[in-house]
Amino acid sequence: MLPFRSKALRFPFALLALLALAPALSGCLGVAVGAGAAAGVAAAEERGAKNAANDKGIQLAINDALFRTDLALFHKLGTIVYEGRVLLTGVLQTEEQKDQALKLVWSASDRIREVIDEIVIAPPGTILDFSNDAWITGQLRFKLASDREIVDINYSIETVNGTVYLIGLAQNEAELMRVTDHARTIRGVRRVVSHVWLKTDPRRQPI
């Protein structure tokens, strides 16, 4: 049986609790609650709070390296970090830009275990529909959250030009199949690329 699967009960009660507390939350208290909620989410993930915090640190280091070195790369690239694995997505114009991006990412932190290169090279003037990509990601996130057979918190999603990229941890093969099937049924999805591991995968190296 999958853990904490009573989504139908879990979300309404959480929402009611937040609504009840809302009038009292302000200033520093609001910040504290936000931090506490983030910590609670991290603790509920399969990777655990320590790994989630480590991944956040890597993410910040990558963003800082890109921002300080090349603003164009910072704006054009998407990064998701999961248990030290960095999923790098986006659209660039040349292989030289791609090589620079990969070097910057690798040099950002010594805690990076893998960089998954999903950068696409496209000629200048290529039109990207960012709003449609965001819509696809939102639709998939909703589908996963609505499926009681999926622990949706363990999946991260990035959509680039109609291609859905997935990374995270699956409870089993059946769950992963449900996730990819949901993605394929969304209008506008061209293909689905999964970098999801099973939670029992021996390659995992949790801290």
The CATH number of whichever domain residue 110 belongs to comes to: 3.30.1340.30
Compute the distance between CA of residue 67 and CA of residue 55 in angstroms, rounded to an integer. Answer: 18
Domain end residue (candidates: 100, 121, 142): 121
Shared domain for 109 and 143, answered yes or no, is no
Please state, rounded to an integer, the average pLDDT across all residues of the chain. Answer: 85
The predicted pLDDT at position 41 comes to 62
Shared domain for 150 and 97, answered yes or no, is no
The predicted pLDDT at position 127 comes to 78
Shared domain for 153 and 193, answered yes or no, is yes
Query: Is residue 139 assigned to a domain?
Result: yes
The predicted pLDDT at position 63 comes to 97
Query: Is residue 85 assigned to a domain?
Result: yes
Sequence length of the chain is 207
The domain total for the chain is 2
The predicted pLDDT at position 110 comes to 97
Query: Is residue 38 assigned to a domain?
Result: no
Check whether 182 has a pLDDT greater than 50. yes
The predicted pLDDT at position 205 comes to 86
Domain that holds residue 145: 130-198
Q: What is the CATH number of the domain that holds 143?
A: 3.30.1340
Q: What is the rounded end-to-end Cα distance, in angstroms, of the chain?
A: 26
Domain end residue (candidates: 61, 88, 121): 121
Shared domain for 116 and 59, answered yes or no, is yes
The H-assigned helical ranges of the chain are 7-21, 27-44, 48-69, 71-76, 95-108, 130-146, 173-184
The predicted pLDDT at position 142 comes to 98
- State pLDDT tens for residues 126-179: 778 999 999 999 999 999 999 999 999 999 999 999 999 999 999 999 999 999
